[in-house]
Amino acid sequence: MTDAARPLILVLHGPNLNLLGRRDRAVYGATTLDDINASLRREADALGLELRIVQSNHEGALIDAIHAAMDEGRGLLINPGGLTHTSVALGDALEAFPHPIVEVHLSNIARREAFRHHSYVSPHASGVVFGFGALGYELGLSALRRLVT
């Protein structure tokens, strides 16, 4: 059970985000997923939020995490990785999530390949942050803080 004074935010990292810092640094930078999670935890403490962080390379595991947080969570910060552009099932799970959602992408997806311009997540999100690298996660978390109180 979470502390009512500290709203629970689910943070989801999709496929291949565990490779941050090693994968295509020109696009994604040198920051690792551990670095991002540590920064998010510091920011969450400052904002009075509790985080549950999940990374998976498996679509079903991400969907299961969304379902599990529906009653207990107050918001969702998600970088769905490549599932952004392919997963109707993830979009359906997000449609059922009854709390604010912020979608985050490290790169500027509008400046990338045409297939990256469509998101199955965005129609269910309160907002989208992209192109700011790892800072985008903190910006998204700050926006969620305002949306959940």
Q: How far is CA 141 from CA 24, 57, 76, 94, in A?
A: 25, 22, 9, 17
Buried b / exposed e over 27-36, threshold 16 CB at 10 Å, is: ebbebbbeeb
Whether 85 is catalytic is no
Verify whether residue 105 is a known catalytic residue.
yes
Q: Which residue of the set 13, 99, 105, 124 is catalytic?
A: 105
Q: Which residue of the set 13, 28, 99, 137 is catalytic? A: 28
3-state secondary structure 44-78: HHHHCCEEEEEECCCHHHHHHHHHHHHHHCCEEEE
Cα separations in angstroms, 86 against 38, 68, 118, 133? 29, 22, 9, 22
The β-bridge partners of 53 are: 11
Which residues participate in catalysis according to the annotation? Answer: 28, 105
